[in-house]
Amino acid sequence: MYSIIKILMSALIIAGVTEMAKRFPTYGGIVAALPIVSLLSIIWLSVQEEKKEVVSQFTLGVLYGLPGTILLLAVVYICLKNSFHVFMCLSIGVVCWGLFLGLQKILFKIITT
């Protein structure tokens, strides 16, 4: 039952943000940047009675992912401004994101040992 509700809520949020972005691109971007997915995930984990440690680790994972996400969005923005095709922009952004996360993981290992 929770799965269907989660899927419907996710679809409604994505559709709403997409429609807002069509009419008001800047505001659509601001709303898309809100931590809606993170907050909903924390709520669903709590509703499913996950341990606080699991929710805490999830939240830490979100924090670890933020710098890579910022890089991805910056790369996509720069590529779009330079008239690259949208799928090329996304591909380059995802590759940069993946490389950054790999580098971040190596750096955290070095720092914590």
pLDDT tens column, 70-81: 999 999 999 999
pLDDT at 27: 84
Q: Which among 92, 100, 91, 40 is positioned nearest to 70, based on CA atoms? A: 100
Residue 46, CA distances (Å) to 16, 37, 62 in order: 25, 14, 16
Mean pLDDT by 10 residues, the chain (113 residues): 78 89 88 82 87 92 91 97 97 96 93 87
Q: Which among 35, 40, 31 is positioned nearest to 5, based on CA atoms? A: 40
Rounded Cα distance, 72 and 97, in Å? 5
Rounded Cα distance, 38 and 47, in Å? 14
